[in-house]
Amino acid sequence: MKHLKHIILSAIIACFAQVATADHADGDAKRGETVFKKCRSCHKVGDGARNRVGPQLNLLFQRAAGSVEGFKYSASMLRAGADGLVWDHASLDTYLENPKSLISKTRMNFRGLKDEQDRADVMAYLRQFSDDPSNIPEASPTTEATDHSVDPEILALQGDPEYGEYLSSECVSCHQIDGADTGIPSITNWPIEDFVIAMHAYKDKKRVHPVMQMMAGRLSAEEIAGLAAYFENVGE
């Protein structure tokens, strides 16, 4: 019953979540076509585009994550879509900069576009393949911060697994300690870096899930490091 209440609470809060906004850089579609060459080995867009290593990108804007018919997504991407992730300028900007900061177990093995202008240009290019590009502005509201990476000093913190176990009681009230992922994804046996990146993305409100944003927001970098160290090897 307690597990079910957490799921319901997450869904209710998500309906009312709002994110602070700021201006985003304008994009150059012509230049974006050139930058997109980095993506073409996996993704196709335009007339006749089909799924390849990655899904086709026609009608990308305002599309729910993990929703292209016939493409086999990772479980993490499907969960993100079920949690309400929609591809817009804000979410795409985060994902394109560092895919694993938004979807930690994405199958997209791409290190990301670190240059803000490159990301804006690629989005301007992809915008052309929408139903009505005129209704999707060149620049749209996005989250306040544009740097979604985690400080190397934070990634270098050595967490104390015993302290992490002490802190884990709230985590395991929803996440199952045996690694089962029925309803709520497993967090056991994650690589430490993936765990830390994901938690800081929630903390900085880059990942969509208000309850996780609230939980991560109460944790210090040292506490997140301790949890990561504990869950990396729990149950082994």
pTM over 0.85: no
For CATH 1.10.760.10, the residue range(s) in the chain are: 21-135, 152-233
CATH 1.10.760.10 describes domain 152-233 = yes
pLDDT at 229: 94
User: Tens digits of per-residue pLDDT, 65-107?
Assistant: 999 999 999 988 998 888 888 898 888 988 999 998 888 888 8
Mind giving me the DSSP string for the chain?
-HHHHHHHHHHHHHHT-----B------HHHHHHHGGGTTTT---STT---SSS---TT-TTEETT--TT----HHHHHHHHTT-EESHHHHHHHHH-HHHHSTT-S--------HHHHHHHHHHHHTTSS-GGGS-SS--B-S----SPPHHHHT----HHHHHHHTTTGGGTS-TT---SSS---TT--HHHHHHHHHHHHTT-SS-HHHHHHHHT--HHHHHHHHHHHHHTT-
The fold for domain 21-135 equals: Cytochrome Bc1 Complex; Chain D, domain 2 (1.10.760)
pLDDT at 208: 66
User: Tens digits of per-residue pLDDT, 109-134?
Assistant: 888 999 999 999 999 899 888 876 65
- Mean of the per-residue pLDDT values of the chain: 80
